[in-house]
Structure 1
Amino acid sequence: MIILRRDFFRVMREGLERMVGDQSAPFLSYLASGVGVHEGSIFRDSVQTEGEQARVELENLVHTAFEDTNLGWGKIRVSNLNFNKGTADITIANCFEALENGTSEHPNCMFTSGFLAGLFAEVFDKTVQANELKCTSTGATACEFRIVPSDTEGQADKPSAEGEAKSPAAPSAEQSPAGTKTPPATPPPKAETPPSPVATSGKPTKEDQDLDRKPGAATTAQRPEQAEIDAGVERAARIAKRKQGFWEKHFKKHQD
């Protein structure tokens, strides 16, 4: 096990900002989702049962790993775990990333969001995204994340109940030297739908042949950059899940 200082992630994020500019947040989330996928696969591999018993053991394992040991992320509480729907609520007090990032007008725990998306994609065996609803960097008492499915089949042609409509597709990913995919440097255009009063992340619609998904409209509490971040996190979870074979081979190589 390697123990890193908390400011390591801040330094890494600042380095990414110098390298890729506005794309640093989705890039960081994508990298974190790969770590989450690997961690989640360890959870799944440790469960030898099947069916409902496997779900019970997985749920107990998630609570133990997060709430009893906290994995160094802060004081964590997991609630409303639903394997059928692929949803969960995560509350993190004293989140290391928020504390290191300092004050902000918007939630900015990009690494944590990506990690949670990747981990719960494995735990639920579904494609999911992690939406950060509250953040201590904005003055909240704790960081709150909502795990939701990325697939919303049959909803592509109509707005959601909250009035969210379709928006331009997320940017296509480019092949990186490591064999993974990263978003291009050009940010997606703004959504043209009216802003929603609810400060939640955009909802995806359907998946096209290029694996691009259309995020929901940005809210009043979101900057254009936040909508881009949400799209990056959601794409990160999808790509990491679909490229599971790559990640298994990658980590096995480094373990050997």
Structure 2
Amino acid sequence: MDTSLSSLHSSLFTLHSSLKVTLLGTGTSGGVPSLGCQCDVCRSSDPRDRRLRCVALVESATTRVLVDCGPDIRQQLMPLPFKPFDAILLTHIHYDHVGGIDDLRPFSVFGPIRLYGDQKTCQHVRNIMPYCFGEHLYPGVPKLELHEIAPHEPLHVGDLTIVPIQVMHGKMPILGFRIGSFVYITDMKTIADTELPYLEGVETLVVNALRFEKDHHSHQLVDDAVRFAHRIGAKQTYITHVCHHIGLYTDAQKRMPEGVTLAYDGEVITVDAE
């Protein structure tokens, strides 16, 4: 391992408190139930079969970070304490991951809302929300601060060290995020071998898998996600960003190998950050 990677691993494991990760949404771009669908999953009364768009809340004792901000964010945040976020991490610009940014405007009472994404994502946010940027802002718009980040460059937010990881969403490079021994990746199809050293020592993995069968051009299937989890040596893996074709929760969970769990909305994961 080169010197920079060694230094990075050292900084990652200076954390001593646990992380609380709440999966506020675990569904694919259209959510589950799917509009107009009458399949068993979409008609299920099991709350674990109802999935809002992917969002995760990561909390330490002193720091609160949101990963993505999709179009269901108002509904997802309504039951939670109204407290500021130290950062909003954006994986990429697709609507199901950024479509709820405007709904964060009430949090402007705490000060600027700090959004972190790669150069392309930040530019697109400016393009789709021009009314939030410029000299003469419309009264009441969310107070947004955009911060460009890059893969492998650690971001220090409160007591957290966050390392962006680059994965490929089809042909589109997007970001995943590592915090201590925890990593969150969504919308991945492939990952370069050069990224793997940045995932050494990961114990808890949240990663996307659309369904079991029928290959997709820009998303993993469950077998892909399981192979990836084994490749990096994750001890516990949670499957997110799934569609109704995954099947009923109770049936799909039975098909998961040891150490792999089908995540559901509202699931809380406690991660040892050391």
TM-score, normalising length: structure 1: 0.26
Considering fraction of residues, name the structure with more helix.
Answer: 1
Considering fraction of residues, name the structure with more strand.
Answer: 2
TM-score, normalising length: structure 2: 0.25
